[in-house]
Amino acid sequence: MLAYLFVIFAIAVRFMPHPLAFTPVAAALLYFGARGSRRQLWVPLALLAASDVILTKFVYSYQFSWDHFVTWAWYAAILWLGTQLRENSNWVRVGGAALASSVSFFVVSNFAVWASWSMYPKTLSGLMACYAAGLPFFRRGVAGDLLFTAVKFGSPAVAAVVARSMHKPHRTAAA
């Protein structure tokens, strides 16, 4: 249930004012892959794709292009990466997966923008200019992915500690 709530939260944040690229999307996908239902990995993918369509067409009034399919393939890849954390989700692996999510999104999404739109010349220098323009978003993306991943993967552990401390028998001092 928590995996579904994290996905719903990630989608809701996309519709709220927030710093660009500072979202819990990658963290929600990693967590769902690691803790969600294996048979329902399509659910976050479908919900995020639907939110992309709504945001693109109705909120921002942008043109829909094939680079959205690249983003959706990235969603699927991050879900798969999350499944690799199912058996062994120590902090090094989770942090590495969050960082890999940030780097891969930066590389793939900027390449797709360069290839699908006419903002940059179709040259190596045009591609480098596209990546350079994306650097401020990358910094916020890394920060958001690391923070939200830590919160999502850490919250069940924190909740368990709190629950255990609440259920400990209280010792009374003998007079």
Residue keyed to tokens 């369509």: 53
Number of folded domains in the chain? 1
CA dist 152 to 75, 89, 144, 171, 174, Å? 17, 12, 12, 33, 42
- Block residue for tokens 């693109």: 56
Residue type, position 13, single letter = V
CA–CA separation, 44 vs 51, rounded Å? 10
In a domain, 56, yes or no: yes
Among residues 144, 107, 110, 139, the alpha carbon closest in space to that of 28 is found at: 144
142 belongs to a structural domain: yes
24 and 152 Cβ atoms separated by less than 8 Å: yes
Q: What is the pLDDT of residue 169?
A: 66
- Place 173 in a pLDDT band, splitting at 50, 70 and 90: low
pLDDT tens digits along 9-54: 999 999 999 888 999 999 999 999 999 999 999 999 999 999 999 9
* Residue from 88, 74, 10 nearest 47 by CA: 10
Query: What value does the mean pLDDT take over residues 61-78?
Result: 95
- How far is Cα 53 from Cα 171, in angstroms, rounded to an integer? 57
Asked, for residue 69, whether it belongs to a domain, the answer is: yes
Residues 114-130: pLDDT tens digits?
Answer: 999 999 999 999 999 99
Residue 75 lies inside a defined structural domain of this protein: yes
Q: Does residue 57 belong to any structural domain of this protein?
A: yes
Token pair of 87, please?
A: 């058996």
Do the beta carbons of residue 29 and residue 75 sit within 8 Å? Answer: yes
* Domain assignment of residue 175, yes or no: no
In a domain, 160, yes or no: no
Structural domain contains residue 137: yes
Coil, strand, or helix at residue 145? Answer: helix
Q: Give me the domain span that covers residue 36.
A: 2-153
